[in-house]
Amino acid sequence: MTPPTMAGAVAGQPPGQARPATTRDACRRALLELARVDQRVICVDADMGGLDDVFAERPGQYVNVGIAEANLMSLSAGLATTGFRPFAHTICSFAVARACEQIKIDIASAGLPVCVVVTHSGLSAGHYGPTHHSVNDLAIIRTMPNMTVLVPADVAEAEWAVRAAHQLPGPAFIRLGRDATPAVHDGPCAPQVGQALTLREGDDVAIVATGPHPVLMALAAATSLGVLGVGARVLGMHTVKPIDEAALVQAAEQTRGIVTVEDHLVVGGLGGAVAEVVAQHRPCRVHRIGVPDEFIDRVGDERYLLAEAGVGADQIVAAALSLVRATAAAR
């Protein structure tokens, strides 16, 4: 199988200055900093490894419930009712698929300020295999009222996400990958929850992306499109719920169509959320790039699997060009 050709996007060429780092480590550091200033912050761990070392200096604010994701969620909910701010850590699929009901009833429905922090989202578990992949979690978690869903694109956004979740009165979900990814932002980043970041200006087509690889691919695609004379706006959707309706309606009004990019099924995730918004408020063409409706049960690293799934800068460019041509022909 040929590796993906969007070298600049996923092959480790950072558009910014910072060297690649994992959002997971950034989140852990940010959480420890929060714990130092807020005694209510409790790190609840489901045997993730490494969190115990990070929190070694604050043993009173760290609990390991072991390999027990249902209990991780219920216990965190109970903790929250006594005034604490639990950050519950596990692997994405084990949180949302395995402990879905505990998140739904005990945390989301109750509106409790529990932040569920997950790693290995999308196809980032790579060679671990499909048991560890998570490509339907956004579809599930965004159907839970009260929930704020944050998907940081890089280290700076990951640090922000932890601080932002801490400020929320209710539940939050922070979706992280596994491996280091290049920085999207040159320095610190502090967007507003629910407000998309315009990472690139452009009025011909809009590319809406969430998560590290999709955002990097979108930026690479926008550069390629620029060379072809197509102005692509890139919206970084660090918040999938509540989704920035205004930015999407504006994109629908001002461009010839929207391409969505995610390391998640094309069903129910970012693409679904965007389509829901524009279908109601400002119908436009939406081309969804993501994992097709099939199990990706192949072996390979994240880049290989994304390419297998058809998620890459080349596909974004092709989709954007087809949108521009189709609407140009229609005019």
**Minimum distance of other proteins from residue 82's CB (angstroms):** 3
Q: Going by DSSP bridges, is the β-strand pair 258-265/232-236 parallel, antiparallel, or unpaired?
A: unpaired
Query: To the nearest 10°, the Cα dihedral for 222, 225, 226, 232?
Result: -50
Alpha helices in 212-312 (DSSP H): 212-227, 245-254, 270-281, 302-309
Asked whether the beta carbons of 15 and 27 are under 8 A apart, the reply is no
d(CA 122, CA 259): 19
Looking only at residues 14 through 73 of this chain, which bind other proteins when binding is defined by CB under 8 A? 42, 60, 63, 65-66, 68, 70-71, 73
**Minimum distance of other proteins from residue 77's CB (angstroms):** 6
Give the DSSP letter of residue 127. Answer: G
Residues near other proteins (CB under 8 A), total: 27
**Minimum distance of other proteins from residue 44's CB (angstroms):** 9
Residue nearer to other proteins on the CB measure, 108 or 193:
108
- Residue 63 pairs in a beta bridge with 44
Structure tokens at 159: 């640090």
**Minimum distance of other proteins from residue 145's CB (angstroms):** 13
**Minimum distance of other proteins from residue 62's CB (angstroms):** 11
Residue nearer to other proteins on the CB measure, 84 or 304:
84
> What character string, x for contact with other proteins (CB under 8 A) and - otherwise, covers 70-109?
xx-xxxxxxxxxxxx-x--------------xx--xx--x
Taking CA atoms, 300 is separated from 13, 121, 182, 297, in Å, by 20, 15, 20, 10
5 counts as binding other proteins under rule CB under 8 A: no
Structure tokens at 264: 């998640």
Which residues bind to other proteins, rule: CB under 8 A? Answer: 42, 60, 63, 65-66, 68, 70-71, 73-84, 86, 101-102, 105-106, 109-110
